[in-house]
Chains A and B, each alone.
Chain A
């Protein structure tokens, strides 16, 4: 869906659902997912419909993912960090995660 314009930024290694994803410094988690061609980041807690980041500015909450074990974080507001583990979410969040 998207391609990277300039190869600016330093490579940052994160994993998404256990798989290595090459991100760049300056990426947010949501941007890194989009750049990697990951189609949806969660399914909804209501009907299980797939959703992907929509606004990229912190207002829609479609980009919710689990970051380093903490669920329902807004991926579009969280900068990537080396070694970060990201998990896509399915349905309702599990308490305690």
Chain B
């Protein structure tokens, strides 16, 4: 598929081919909307069902049934009339729903009747000393290598952090025959107190039994050590992991350190489109402000899936369906759609137990608000000390910070530093992340080449603004 093969306009453009996007595209296309789904990865599935159609992991037990259920979504979407384009990066979306997309080095602008942003989540930044060293990788990264390429950690491997995904990945690695030297658990013990109030709900949810089983499975094979300090040490690559609690400090030689402390919505595209966001104190992240159909503050643009606030893969598919039903109702009121109340009820059941998990796994301040020479912005190599000092200079927010220090100005456009910078400013100035706010983002939200940008349609007035 080339960019030039796309139609100039579609009823619905879905951005992201994870569970939310696949479910939304399938439903909308079946109901008769001309629908295109773009995903920048080589295959659909999103993070949870990464490489669902091509995974070389033959033994189904390794990734588990919760992975393989994703096949149905992919099959359903492929069988629907929706056009599914992989290797397609969406780099721009404006409030009038013009979608900028790039396929194999060719850029196009597509007009959408409605848009569903289903770009999912990304792992929360984990800024510890040494996290930029080769040999340090996000746990999600290692999981992608396992799902998509059948690669398993082979050397001395340490995992550190917390949250359900860390334990899931540990189990998957072990089942695949990999070895883990240790799991360094960074979740603060005090979290139990906050979480306790939500325990009854959690016990009734499917997470309860699954979670316990997973913990037992992993703990039977790997040493788990509670820590409150962590450092990756090495010259040109990771050599050892240094960690400790209180006074004690230990060192462990390692080839690979896998970091994870939960996931947060991937907000870049929605923010660039002008969608209003708000701080979620329980999940410690920004998320779009949405109505019950997941429509944003910008008319005709919805955010579904984990991008709408973290709720997991199954919930993502239901959210995608609800957003798709709303899109169909808006554009083709006479079309037949599933009963939205039923979908809402399923979604409601899915969210049971999340509050408990969120409070229990809330990462510690010290792992979100680093000190000293720890790198905060990986692209521009800006340190925690610089951010804190500049906050003291009178810098009130991330946009002024960006101007002063270049944090968030590199190619990742703040995805790996945004939350850290906001939280550091809030901590340093004695205010809240909600007050401090987030980076202002502009297209392209993913880099495109100058030639691609140059190839876009230009109106006479726009040319005149430059050529004088």
Contacts and interface: CB of A to CB of B under 8 A. Distances in A.
Interface string A59-76: 111101000000010001
Interface string A39-83: 110001011011111111111111010000000100011010000
B57 to A, nearest CB: 6
Contact of B149 (A24, A55, A61): A24
B134 A40 contact: yes
Nearest to B236: A50
B381 A55 contact: no
B58 interface: yes
A1 B41 contact: no
A39 B237 contact: yes
A42 B148 CA distance: 23
Contacts of A50: 133-134, 236-237
Interface string B22-46: 0000000000000000001110000
Contacts of B133: 50
Contacts of B92: none
A60 B148 contact: no
A33 to B, nearest CB: 11
B138 A54 contact: yes
B381 A47 contact: yes
A54 B148 contact: no
Contact of B134 (A5, A8, A51, A64): A51
A5 B146 contact: yes
A61 to B, nearest CB: 4
Interface in B387-423: 410-412, 415-416
A60 B378 contact: yes
Contacts of A31: 145, 148-149, 151
Contact of B132 (A6, A39, A49, A53): A49
A54 B152 CA distance: 15
A94 B51 CA distance: 34
B380 A55 contact: no
Interface residues of B, number: 54
Interface residues of A, number: 39
A54 B256 CA distance: 11
Given A54-B136, A55-B140, A60-B415, A1 B122 contact: no
A28 B151 CA distance: 12
Contact of B410 (A2, A58, A61, A77): A61
B375 to A, nearest CB: 9
B149 A26 contact: yes
A34 interface: yes
Nearest to A63: B141
A1 B140 contact: no
B134 A56 contact: no
B149 A59 contact: no
A97 interface: no
Nearest to B449: A70
B47 A57 contact: yes
Interface in B96-150: 122-123, 132-138, 140-142, 144-146, 148-150
Contact of A61 (B134, B140, B237, B412): B412
29 contacts: A1-B135, A1-B154, A1-B155, A2-B154, A2-B256, A3-B151, A4-B152, A5-B57, A5-B150, A8-B58, A26-B51, A26-B56, A31-B145, A31-B149, A49-B381, A50-B134, A51-B132, A52-B137, A53-B141, A54-B378, A55-B123, A57-B47, A57-B140, A59-B266, A60-B138, A60-B412, A60-B416, A64-B411, A77-B42
Interface of A: 1-6, 8-9, 24, 26-28, 31, 34-35, 39-40, 44, 46-47, 49-62, 64, 72, 76-77, 79
Shortest 10 CB-CB contacts between residues of A and residues of B: A8-B56, A52-B134, A3-B154, A5-B150, A56-B141, A61-B411, A56-B144, A2-B151, A40-B134, A31-B149
